[in-house]
Structures are given as structure tokens and as C-alpha cells.
Amino acid sequence: MEIGLGSGFTANYLRNKNYTVTTLDIDNEKKPDIVANIVDYEMKSNYDIILAFEVFEHLPFKYLKTVLQMLHSHCNRYLIISLPEYLSCFFSLEFELFGVKKTASFRRPSFYKMKQLSPNHHWEVNSNSETKLKKLIEIFHNYSFKNVEQSLYQDRYFIALERIP
């Protein structure tokens, strides 16, 4: 199951590799298999893996727990997500040095005004005390998902969570 179809790249890629993928999105124009808002949608099937890339920050934070509870009930193995990190960068630079790709971000000094959230984001990782990465991992754990792996690439956290029965 892929929640939040975006450009359709992930679902198309997986289908080309002969995986069965069901897509869910609130936007009918993206032509998902299921048109619904994840907050109030009642899943009818279980899925081995649920993907949600750049989705949760579009929901008011108060709905995260409701969504996680529902996803736990319908996820057999893994929940794989990405979330943006809240930072104020002057700029980010990606370069290759001796065959190794590196990224350097130049953040704002502490006396500069914090950046505004994107107009369509309700929150981002580290945007307030509730959304600190450590707290988010605790929330996932409280809803029976354990953190298997996480990485930060540029300003995105990619987190693989395993369902705890």
C-alpha cells in the first residue's frame, strides 16, 4: 500500500518489478486505486508493507496517533515513511570528493528568525517540542512500531518501522 501517490514513481516502479501495489490518495486527479483521506479512511485489507512518503506532515499533528493506530491494525510487517526536517538553511550543497558523495548544509545562526513551515505542512520533524525526532520515534513505538532503520538525506528523514504484534 502506498499512501500519498505523489508523482506515481514509486508505485509504477514497484509494479514494473511485479509487486502488487494499492495506492491511496486524497487527490482524485492522481488516479489512485482508492480516493480517500487517510485520517478517516477505514482500510478493508491488510498489507505487508505500507509506504507513506511526505504524507504525515500534511495532517494536523493531532491526527498522527489515529492514523498510526489504524495503520498498525492493517500492516503485517513494515511501515516505511519519510518526513521533512524543519531547518533553516541558507543553502545546501551536494558534491563528490574522492568518489564519495557529500552534502553540506549551512544553517542559520541562532539569532536569525526561524523559517516558516511550508504552507501545506502542519508540522515537520523538530518544528516544535512534540515533533522532535526522539519523541516521534516514541510515538511510533507507543503504537507498536519499532524503529528498524533511519537515515537523513538532505532535509528528509527516511524511517523504516517494523510492526510489533
Burial of 32 (0-12, 13-18, 19+ CB in 10 A): buried
Domain ranges of the chain: 37-87+120-163
| Per-residue pLDDT tens over the stretch 41-66 | 999 999 999 999 999 999 999 999 99
The DSSP letter of residue 77 is: E
Range with lowest mean pLDDT among 10-24, 30-44, 81-95: 81-95
| Band (106; pLDDT cuts 50, 70, 90) | low
- Residue 89's pLDDT is 53
Angle value at C-alpha 67, between 9 and 28, nearest 5 degrees: 45
pLDDT at 161 over 90: yes
- Continuous segment of H or E residues that includes residue 74: helix 64-74
Q: How far apart are CA 161 and CA 74, in angstroms?
A: 14
Supply the pLDDT for residue 29: 95
CATH architecture of 37-87+120-163: 3-Layer(aba) Sandwich (3.40)
**Residue type present at position 54:** E
- pLDDT range class, residue 119, cuts 50, 70, 90: confident
What pLDDT does 114 receive?
56
pLDDT tens by residue, 24-42:
999 999 999 999 999 999 9
> How high is the pLDDT of residue 118?
76
**Residue 117: predicted pLDDT:** 76
Report helix, strand or coil for 37. coil
